Structure 1
Amino acid sequence: MSRFAIISDIHGNLPALEAVLADIERQGVNEIYHLGDLVGYNPFPNETVALIASRGIPGLRGNYDQAVLGQVADPVGEFLNARITPMGLEIYHWTLQKVNDQTRKFLASLPQQMTVAKEGWRFRLTHGSPRHIKDYVRPSWPDEMFLELLAEVSEEVLCTGHTHIPLIRQFDRQWLLNPGSVGFPKDGNPLASYALVAVDQELTIEIRRVEYDIERTVRAIGERGLPPKAAADLRAGRR
């Protein structure tokens, strides 16, 4: 049996990441993959990337990670949300100014998708969807939309992030998994979220919620000049 963790959407929340990594270790799991968006929204972008890099955790580049690289003419419109709020735009520009060269270099080295094989099962790892880095695979989709997406991949398990909302769906032999967000949940539950996966002949997925020192992040939001509403949203688990 193989056991591993999938994390996503850490978004510069170092205390949440530290707590999740500690919980993964308590589960006796030492293999982790991330689905991108290491930076954005929260006040520890460089520290978060440095911790992921130091642990050698493989994973992807998310749409926010891509945006701060400055490789497109209109990163806000192309890689963030066209309906981005004024607060979101302010946080984006703050992040753009704060990420250092080492962080940018690491983000630029990450792929947008990858496939991982475990015990005869293949896992397609994406940030938004296999179609585009900023696609939202929403829990509210009708089954027909999930089936149409899964028909486009050959892997047994499709893992996506980006929505910040946990999701597990099975359709015959194929599964769709979203581990939720480590650093900025948007499902009304502020606890950090990740997925614990066990696989042999069968597949077992557990969404785990982890308490962390949210007030440490809240204090840093104020101290580092991010909008106060970002702290309120973090406490409430909402966008």
Structure 2
Amino acid sequence: MQIGVISDIHSNIVALEAVLRELEEERPEKILCAGDLVGYYPFPDETVSRVRDVEALCVLGNHDFGLITDTPREFNRMAKRALDWNRRNLSEENLVYLEELPETRRLIIDDLDTFIAHGSPNHPIDEYIWKEDIDEEFLNRSFETIPDVVILGHTHRPYVQIIGETVCLNPGSVGQPRDGDSRASFAVIDTESYEVEIRRVEYEIDWVAEETEEYLPRQLAERLYEGR
């Protein structure tokens, strides 16, 4: 069975569509999303609707949480402005969808015990977990019963870390990569071979940048080209 894994879309519908086209070739049984559907870019309603269309199993990210509550004080000026704009341009139906997202999910997929959070198991909304943070101690501290697969987001940087019999992964960011590669990032899990592949796909950054500059800070558009 093939499983698609996405995260940190951040209202970038163009990048999301490019990723979904790539995933169509894999014919995944499920798509899992580690949060942050909204924020930064100017297509919040289209993005949430599309995620719902493909019936992705999502968790709540920190930007999603900020949109349905109050924009966090610790957000920088650009992030605050974008999130406030996203809130004003999201339908009531999609707002309710975000409000109902769980902070974590734990489910069995093709006999694999799978855990999903945006941040970390203990602080699912906003803790950054980097590849070097993941070791046996991290797993023992985070879980009473250690899953087969741990999926996290938030860092916007993809990785796969194998600890014993547990595969830990971050699919990177669909909508705003920060690892120096401007292409949208996602992952594919093969549940039979127990392998994970990080994938990248190009999309029309120019179009997203133009739309972003019309409504939101220019710096948000510029960083798409730099993958940072």
Shift of 1:140: 4.2
Q: Is contact 1:35-1:126 (8 Å) kept?
A: yes
User: How far apart are the structure 2 equivalents of 1:118 and 1:102?
Assistant: 29
Partners of 2:148 and 2:8 in 1: CA distance: 23
The two structures have a TM-score, normalised by structure 2, of 0.93
* Correspondence for 1:34: 33
Aligned to 1:156: 148
CA distance in 2, matches of 1:55, 1:169: 28
Other-structure match for 2:48: 49
SS of residue paired to 1:76 = coil
1:215 aligns with 2:219: no
Distance across 2 between alignment mates of 1:75 and 1:130: 23
User: In the alignment, what sits opposite 1:59?
Assistant: 58
* Distance in 2 of aligned mates of 1:6 and 1:38: 13
Q: Where do 4+ consecutive residues of structure 1 move more than 4 Å? A: none
| Pair 1:228 & 2:224 matched | no
Q: Structure 1 CA distance, aligned partners of 2:57 and 2:135?
A: 26
CA–CA distance in structure 1, aligned partners of residues 195 and 31 of structure 2: 16
Residues 13-47 of structure 1, C-alpha deviations (whole Å, 9 max, x = no match): 00000010000001232421111110001110011
Residue in structure 1 matching 2:130, options 108, 130, 138:
138
Instruction: Answer yes or no: is 1:192 the counterpart of 2:189.
Output: no
CA contact (8 A) 2:31 2:55 kept: no
Unaligned 5+ residue runs, structure 1? Answer: none
Other-structure match for 2:79: 88
- Matches of 1:205 and 1:148, distance apart in 2: 22
Match of 1:76 in 2: 72
Between 188-197 and 84-93, the greater mean CA deviation after superposition: 84-93
Percent of aligned pairs sharing the same letter: 35
Q: Is the 8 A contact 1:150 1:158 kept in 2?
A: no
Residue 5 of structure 1 corresponds to 4
CA distance in 2, matches of 1:63, 1:113: 12
Aligned counterparts of 2:56 and 2:29: Cα–Cα separation in 1: 10
Pairing 1:110–2:101 present: yes
Q: Provide the C-alpha distance between the structure 2 equivalents of 1:28 and 1:51, rounded to a whole number of angstroms.
A: 17
Q: CA deviation at 1:125?
A: 0.7
Q: Distance in 1 between matches of 2:211 and 2:65?
A: 24
Indicate the residue corresponding to 2:159 in structure 1. Answer: 167
Alpha-carbon distance in 1 for matches of 2:12, 2:2: 25
TM-score, with normalisation over the residues of structure 1? Answer: 0.89
* Cα distance between partner residues in 1 of 2:150 and 2:168: 5
Query: How far, CA to CA, are the matches of 1:156 and 1:140 in structure 2?
Result: 19
Deviation by residue 1:152-196 (Cα, 9 ceiling, x = unmatched): 222121110000100100111112110001111011111000010
Unaligned runs of 5+ in 2: none
